Every structure is written in structure tokens, then in C-alpha cells.
């Protein structure tokens, strides 16, 4: 292979990696719109009025139409809670009474699928960790030791849009 061929292959590989970076495996990006993750409405845009007493699982929809559903790290729990009860750490990530919380447990990465509306706690069914969503999703009961990540969202044009990054690393810390 000569130098020109090596450069051509390198450019082609770089273009492929750049395209892959826009894939469904990416975490939510600023400007993405949130869509229903599962069920009859999977892939349809979530309006703020859709978020009621029950939790809604959501994924981000990129402007190019790609649903970012290729990783648990992109799955969110959308919750409507009492704004007056949110801690100062929680408020900057909320869109009024609506919060978007990572569904990836910080203990072993299981899907945090339990929701106790009475005490505003998300629960991981794998090992029983509980997270207080009103207080920046802090750990109430382990074995998880780190809070869940909050995603900065905003409301506009009848949709819920990603307005910033997660509050912290999503899921458990990597093991090397």
C-alpha cells in the first residue's frame, strides 16, 4: 500500500467513525427531543401533558430522525413531581415539574424500573437500591453509592427537549 492509499483508507475510516458517532448508541444530545421508549407509542414525541402521575420511559430523538435507543445509558425516566419540594441541586435540571433521570443504576448498570410516587423514589429491582429524585437522585438505600444522573431538559413548542448534559456519569463506574 502506498502513502496515498493509506491516507484514503484513513479518511474513509474516519468518516465511518464520525457517522457511527451519530448513531443510536449515543447519549442524549442538546437539541434532541424526548420520545416514548416502549409500548404502542414507542418513538412518538412526548408532550409535557403526557407526563402525569406515572413514570414514562423515554429515549432521545436526534434531529436527523435517529432514536438513541441503542444503550441503557440513553434510557430515561420522565417524572412529574412537586417543584416546591425539589432541592437546589435538582432544580437546574428540571423543566418546571418534569424531571428526566437516567434509568441506568449506578451500582451494576441494571434498569431502574421501580417508581414509588408516594415518596418520590426510583428503585432498582436488581439489588434494591433506592434513589430520592427530589434530592438530585441521591442514594437512599444501597448497595449503590452514587446518585443517578439527571438530564438537563427544557419545555418548548409542545415537546421536551434536551437542554444540557447529564449531572454526572451515567450508570456504574467502569471496571478495568
CA 56, chain centre distance (Å): 12
pTM of the model: 0.84
3-state secondary structure of 134: helix
Residues facing 150 on adjacent strands: 101
- Kindly provide the b/e burial profile for residues 114-124, where b requires at least 16 CB atoms within 10 angstroms of the residue's own CB: bbeeeebbbbb
- For the chain, the domains span 24-166
Can you list the alpha helix ranges (DSSP code H) found in the chain? Answer: 3-21
- Using a 10 angstrom Cβ sphere, with 0-12 exposed, 13-18 middle and 19 or more buried, the burial of residue 55 is buried
Architecture of domain 24-166: 3-layer Sandwich (2.102)
pLDDT given for residue 154 in this prediction: 98
Of 57, 82, 54, 73, nearest in space to 165 by CA: 73
Of 103, 38, 41, 35, nearest in space to 66 by CA: 35
pLDDT given for residue 22 in this prediction: 52
pLDDT given for residue 46 in this prediction: 97
pLDDT given for residue 51 in this prediction: 96
Of 22, 81, 50, nearest in space to 159 by CA: 50
| Pairwise CA distance, residues 109 & 72, whole Å | 8
pLDDT along the chain (176 residues), means of 10: 40 42 82 96 96 94 94 93 96 97 94 94 95 97 94 96 96 79
Amino acid at each position: 500500500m502506498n502513502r496515498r492509499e493509506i491516507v484514503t483508507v484513513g479518511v474513509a475510516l474516519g468518516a465511518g467513525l464520525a457517522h457511527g458517532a451519530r448513531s443510536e448508541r449515543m447519549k442524549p444530545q442538546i437539541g434532541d427531543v424526548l420520545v416514548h421508549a416502549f409500548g404502542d407509542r414507542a418513538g412518538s414525541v412526548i408532550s409535557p401533558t403526557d407526563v402525569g402521575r406515572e413514570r414514562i420511559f423515554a429515549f432521545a430523538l436526534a434531529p436527523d430522525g435517529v432514536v438513541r435507543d441503542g444503550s441503557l445509558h440513553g434510557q430515561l425516566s420522565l417524572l412529574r413531581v412537586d417543584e416546591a419540594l425539589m432541592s437546589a441541586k435538582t432544580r437546574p435540571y428540571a423543566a418546571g415539574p418534569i424531571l428526566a433521570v437516567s434509568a441506568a443504576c449506578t451500582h451494576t448498570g441494571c434498569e431502574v424500573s421501580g417508581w414509588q410516587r408516594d415518596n418520590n423514589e426510583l428503585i432498582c429491582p436488581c439489588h434494591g437500591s433506592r434513589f430520592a429524585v427530589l434530592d438530585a437522585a441521591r442514594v437512599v438505600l444501597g448497595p449503590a453509592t452514587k446518585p443517578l444522573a439527571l438530564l438537563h431538559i427544557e419545555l418548548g413548542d409542545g415537546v421536551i427537549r434536551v437542554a444540557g448534559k447529564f449531572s454526572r456519569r451515567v450508570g456504574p463506574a467502569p471496571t478495568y
